[in-house]
Structure 1
Amino acid sequence: MAVSSEYKAFVAEQLEPLGPVRIRNMFGGAGVYFDDLMFGLIVGETLFFKVDERNRGDFEGEEMGPFVYEPPSGKSIAMSYYELPERLYDEPEELVLWARRALDAALAAKASKPVKTKKAARKKTARPKN
């Protein structure tokens, strides 16, 4: 389901106190970025924030769950992005606090990924000799 330009503008306005947030279209939805780091996901007219062990309980305490992707294979995949409680749209300071925690989760996820070296990249693209 496509994301309306009005909803993207609304989300950007809500997140303005966070700093330079960009929203980019992707796969029928949109990614919410701070610099080049994606910390949010928009699907339809629903905003999801990145979660980890530090902020997942906040979402679960509000009975919010993950975005579930259903690829053509039919196997559902729960993503590490949870739906934002609707009440936060009326509480802008708290919404920005949740956004900061999502940004922290995205930073932690990025930091935990191994850095690819040129040698590792060459191994992936190397082809066996026949």
Structure 2
Amino acid sequence: MAWDPGFGDWVQDHLSDLGPFEIKRMFGGAGALKGGAMFAILSSDTIWLKADDALAAEMAEEGAERFEYGPPERRRTLPYWSLPSAAMDDPEQALSWARRAVEVALRPKPARKRKKS
């Protein structure tokens, strides 16, 4: 993942109607956070939005790809999907997807069950 600060500026401009959000450098890329929750991963020239199963299915129908990393023999995935290409040129579409990603990111996490010893 390579990070270009100019891309971060472009993302903040493209999603400006989302209201204030923070971009933090991490792992060679960056994360976009709103309300303390990371709703997007930014790398190279791709916006990866956090998605639950329902949002992921809709994004996949629009040609989005799931975020993957690691060597081929130990490939890992995260619940982030690329912003559909049509939305890269359309701030209204991008904003709609991003708002839904923020909703997913801000949802309370289910409590983990403790293992009995």
TM-score, normalised to structure 2's length?
A: 0.87
What per-residue deviation string (whole Å, max 9, x for no partner) do you get for residues 55-111 of structure 1? 11221101222110216x951111100011121122211211100110111122xx1
- Determine the structure 1 residue equivalent to 2:92: 93
Unaligned runs of 5+ in 2: none
Give the distance between the partners of 1:113 and 1:13, measured in 2 at CA. 33
Look up the match of 2:45.
45
- Indicate the RMSD between aligned Cα atoms, in angstroms: 1.9
TM-score normalised by length of structure 1: 0.79
Moved over 4 A (4+): none
Listed one character per residue, the Cα deviations across residues 10-33 of structure 1 (whole Å, up to 9, x for unaligned) are 001111101111111000010011
Partner of 1:112 in structure 2? 109
Q: Does the aligned pair in 2 maintain the 1:69–1:77 contact within 8 Å?
A: yes
- Tell me the SS of whatever aligns to 1:11: helix
CA 86–63 in structure 1, closer or farther in 2 if over 3 Å, else same: closer
Q: Contact conserved, 2:35 with 2:106, CA < 8 A, in 1?
A: no
Q: Which letter maps to 2:96?
A: L
Stretch moving more, 11-20 or 88-97: 88-97
Bigger radius of gyration among the two: 1
